[in-house]
Amino acid sequence: METAEIARRFLTFFEQNDHTVVPSASLVADDPTLLFVPAGMVPFKPYFLGQQTPPFDRATSVQKCIRTIDIEEVGKTSRHATFFQMLGNFSFGDYFKDKAIPLAWDLLTTPVAGGGFGIDPEKLWVTVYLDDDEAADIWRDVVGVPPERIQRRGVEDNYWSMGVPGPCGPCSEIFYDRGPEHGVEGGPVADEDRYVEVWNLVFMQYERGEGGAKKDYPILGDLPKQNIDTGLGLERLASLLQGVDNIYETDTLGRILQDAAQRTGTRYGAAERSDVMLRVVADHVRSAVMLVSDGVRPGNEKGGYVLRRILRRSIRNLRLLSGGDTAHLHGLTETAIGAMEGIYPELRAGAERIHEVIDTEEKNFSDTLRSGTALFNRAAERTKGSGATRISGADAFQLHDTYGFPIDLTLEMAGEQGLDVDETEFRALMQSQRDTAKADAKAKKLGNADISVYARLLEGSGATEFLGYTDHEGEARVLGIVAAGAPAAAAREGETVEVVLDRTPFYGESGGQLADKGVLTVEGRGAVRIDDVQKPLPGLFVHRGTVTSGEIVVDDTVHAAIDDGRRAAVSRAHSATHLIHSALRNALGPSTGQAGSENGPGRLRFDFTASTALTPAELAEVEEEVNTVLAGDIEVRDFQTSLDEALAMGALAMFGEKYGDRVRVVEMSDYSRELCGGTHVAATGQLGIVKLLGESSVGAGVRRVEAAVGIDAFRRLSKESLLVGRLSEQLKTPREELPQRIDSMVSRLRAAEKEIEKLRAAQVLQAAAGLAKDAAEIGGALVVSHRAPDGTAGDDLRRLALDVRGRLGEDRPAVVAVAGVPKDRPVVVIAVNKAGQGKGLKAGELVGIAARALGGGGGGKPDVAQGGGTDATAVDTALRAVEQRVAATP
């Protein structure tokens, strides 16, 4: 049975059972918390959450889904896929377990001739949640599943929630027994390779509170309406009904995979390595077609980045499989459209546009691959020239990071030349790169330009010559201009631009040192204000700024001049960083290492490894040592040498830096000696003074000190001295006695605040007797609905609610709702006595109603619950909503 027929039968079956057929939503999620739709129920979330009223009580759909969390695993197994389709049937307060369970069983087991899938009932097992006796009874007594094929499982397997407060409930799963050749007997609890999950039926019947995604969260109460959400993986069901081992052998993915094998001259099943590549191509080409069809375009951010990534993965694997650079994606795209158009006819209508987008990306990446190959060849020649047989992990990482070369491509190219690759170093560099904060910072620095734009500039024009160690200005030629992420021939006044020069005095941000700023001037025609300089590729300086007058054109001769004052201030900060590094090692021991830094104009931060915080005494000791050394006016010297010689003389290598065979050493006598490419002062006396501003933690085992340097440090000390003087004058206390005087004042203030809090609480509770006396009778219950004065603390609101409830006694059902606005955000507390709970009134449910009116959420136990929101103007509305709910309770 073809995949399109499976989908058709599913929709027809539920349409015949009074479900509305809902077309698949776009893969691009209409939800700010999601990038793509990852599950079939996502388009119906507003209905399940009660945010919108559904236009139907029952629905069914075939929903397109994308999951990107395990792209790297795609191909390595026969289960993972980026794009997949979920068949689902949904009930919004209409039917529940007694209807959903038989419907699923009937569709699966009804013979093909009768419109079903014709699965042998003896092959099916089911699981239910631990205490879901209702579902177990339906499977056994209504459906007729033997008790030995009904298994109970815990919260990890058979309980569902969205991972956040909202609907939740137990689920029941249907498994297909593939037979003893696939594993051991004993049902799903024994072997999920043999017993494959086919269908998941979720019974939404409770509301959960805050807590973990999978467990450890409170159940706040029953949902107002019980809902059904089911999911049946179309690809997985197709593999079972088509009698194949996995989803990559079905009629859709298998068709693309076999076409890829034919085009590349390989055979699926011949070798595991090529099988993995073919699975990657089949999945990624189909995923790309579906994404482009839904309007996604390749880019460097969000969905565009995902699309670009999977397309480039496909291209790489196709080249590895074929051993050449033939373009295969156009034909494979057509195959994917043909394989999927039976379910999504819009693919054929949009085929021309889909081809155009994918063809363009393949062409652009082909240029990048050529540049990367040239870089690899240079690395291979350098390796052979040194007599080595192993390409460094740093070179392999540069190929990956700059040109998108996967390590297996680099390994294969190295093998062809009798070389191997330092994979250990490569993996270490890859792990370091996965730091998301660094990735975000890098993305912001590079803007929206494709890295291949810079790669082509570097390949065509060579590296930029850096003049900045000796010259602060000079003449240079414009080699390239990038505007709006693309190469440009010229840029005019007002445009934001990136300029590449053949030589430059501008320091490009690196090694923790911020970039220079300054001006590029085209004599008689224009000027560009430079605000930043980055090195997206080693050796390539990209000057970012704004054309302030006239225009700048490729091949122009410009006068490049940096801001001398800024350079001097940054250099002082960088030299101070080296001194602080040495002082910290002297204070804490040689195991203390640099973990990052930033050197700006007159200010720095320095991250270092340490298991505990520095004491005030240690911090003072470091500061004194640094200032003692700089007062000695030690010469700051730099020179180049081999890496081995530099390390032999004790030079420190910095965190995260890559070094070639020749390195630059910056030394301050024997006190400090480091490998460094930054700019520095000529002698330590030029620093003037270094003032440590504080020490803090930035992560496990990493601390940070911040400091001001030179005139910035003087200004800081001057302000602090002025502040201390004013405090001394106002408090009429000598400077040296200020700490004791301030401690005494703070202690008295805290004592006064506690006393005021006690008085406020007593005042609030004084109202309890009157509130209880004036309780209204609503729906057979005593109800107190009270808005406390603004500013009343949340704890006082809770105490008041409990006090009033106690005064109402237990003879009659009673509900107490107290709300207020402690600090600009409304809070509501609800207390229900035992008689009220016996009537069906639960505090957790009532507070949820009130909190939603306030634009928030909340929950708690049946006897007392607390919630809040964001709309302070809706307090009275929230209290009325509680009264209405009580009135509606029989």
| Residue list, annotated binding site | 574, 578, 676, 680
Strands 150-153, 124-129: pairing kind: parallel
CA-wise closest residue to 288 among 274, 264, 304:
304
Whether residue 865 contacts residue 798, with contact meaning beta carbons closer than 8 Å, is answered with: no
CA-wise closest residue to 463 among 471, 455, 451:
455
Q: Please report, for the chain, how many H helices and E strands are present, in that order.
A: 27, 34
What is the C-alpha to C-alpha distance for residues 830 and 786, in angstroms, rounded to an integer? 10
What is the C-alpha to C-alpha distance for residues 91 and 60, in angstroms, rounded to an integer? 9
Three-state DSSP class for residue 498:
strand
CA gyration radius for the chain? 35
Strands 166-177, 690-699: pairing kind: unpaired
Go through the chain and tell me how many residues it has. 890
Q: DSSP letter string over 511-560?
A: TTBPPP-EEEEETTTEEEEEEEEEEEETTEEEEEEEEEEEEEETT-EEEE
CA 878 from centroid of its chain's CA atoms:
35
CA 302 from centroid of its chain's CA atoms:
10
Find the largest Cα–Cα distance for the chain: 99
DSSP H or E run through 340: helix 329-340
What is the C-alpha to C-alpha distance for residues 432 and 784, in angstroms, rounded to an integer? 59
Written as six digits, the tokens of 108 are 């699966």
Placement of tokens 């001049």 in the chain: 561
Known binding residues for Zn(2+): 574, 578, 676, 680
Planar angle of CA 724, 727, 728, nearest 5 degrees: 85
Residue 467 burial (10 A CB sphere; 0-12, 13-18, 19+): middle
Placement of tokens 């965190």 in the chain: 655
Written as six digits, the tokens of 125 are 């097992």
DSSP H or E run through 348: helix 346-349
Written as six digits, the tokens of 152 are 């109970």
Strands 503-504, 465-466: pairing kind: parallel
DSSP H or E run through 203: strand 195-208
Whether residue 75 contacts residue 35, with contact meaning beta carbons closer than 8 Å, is answered with: no
What is the C-alpha to C-alpha distance for residues 152 and 131, in angstroms, rounded to an integer? 8
What is the C-alpha to C-alpha distance for residues 890 and 873, in angstroms, rounded to an integer? 30
Whether residue 279 contacts residue 318, with contact meaning beta carbons closer than 8 Å, is answered with: no
Written as six digits, the tokens of 84 are 């997949």
Residue 301 burial (10 A CB sphere; 0-12, 13-18, 19+): exposed
DSSP, res 142: I
Written as six digits, the tokens of 622 are 């470091």
User: Which residues are 600's β-sheet partners?
Assistant: 603
What is the C-alpha to C-alpha distance for residues 878 and 876, in angstroms, rounded to an integer? 5
CA 414 from centroid of its chain's CA atoms:
34
Other beta carbons within 10 angstroms of residue 821's beta carbon come to: 19
Written as six digits, the tokens of 241 are 């009904």
